[in-house]
Structure 1
Amino acid sequence: MKTFGYVRVSSKDQNESRQIEALKGLVDEILIDKCSGKNADRPQLQALFQKVRSGDTVKIKSVDRLARNTRDLLEILDHLTSQGIKVIFIDNNMTFDDTPTSKFYVTMLGAVGELERSFIRQRQQEGIEIAKEKGGVFKGRPKDEELRKTVAGYLAKGSYTSQEICKLAGVSRATFFRIKKELV
Structure 2
Amino acid sequence: MQKESMILGYARVSTGGQDLTQQTEALRAAGCQKIIRETGSAGANAPRPRLRQALKSLDPGDVLVVTAIDRLARDTRDLLNILHEVKLSEAAFRSIAEPLVDTSTELAEVVIAVLGIAAKWERGRIIARTTAGRVQAKADGVKFGRKPTLTPHQMREATLRVANGETQRAVARTYNVSQATISRLLAGRTETEQ
Q: TM-score, normalised by structure 1?
A: 0.53
Matched, 1:13 2:17: yes
In 2, Cα distance between equivalents of 1:85 and 1:102:
15
Give the corresponding residue for 1:48: 54
Unpaired segments ≥5 residues, structure 1: 116-184
Give the corresponding residue for 2:83: 77
Evaluate the alpha carbon distance shift between residue 27 and residue 48 of structure 1 in structure 2; reply closer, same or farther with a 3 A threshold: same
In 2, Cα distance between equivalents of 1:57 and 1:2:
6
Give 1:81 shift: 1.4
Evaluate the alpha carbon distance shift between residue 40 and residue 75 of structure 1 in structure 2; reply closer, same or farther with a 3 A threshold: farther
Give the corresponding residue for 1:4: 8
Give the corresponding residue for 2:187: none
Matched, 1:87 2:93: yes
In 1, Cα distance between equivalents of 2:99 and 2:78:
21
Give 1:61 shift: 0.5
Runs of 4+ in 1 over 6 A off after TM superposition: none
Q: CA RMSD in A?
A: 2.6
Give the corresponding residue for 1:66: 72
Unpaired segments ≥5 residues, structure 2: 126-194
Equivalent residues, number: 112
Task: For CA contacts below 8 A with separation 6 or more, give which structure has more relative contact order.
Answer: 1
In 2, Cα distance between equivalents of 1:40 and 1:78:
20
Q: 2:35 aligns with which of 24, 30, 33?
A: 30
Q: TM-score, normalised by structure 2?
A: 0.51
Over the matched positions of the two proteins, sequence identity in percent amounts to: 29
Matched, 1:103 2:113: yes
Largest Rg, 1 or 2? 2
- C-alpha contact 1:39 1:68 (8 A) present in aligned 2: no
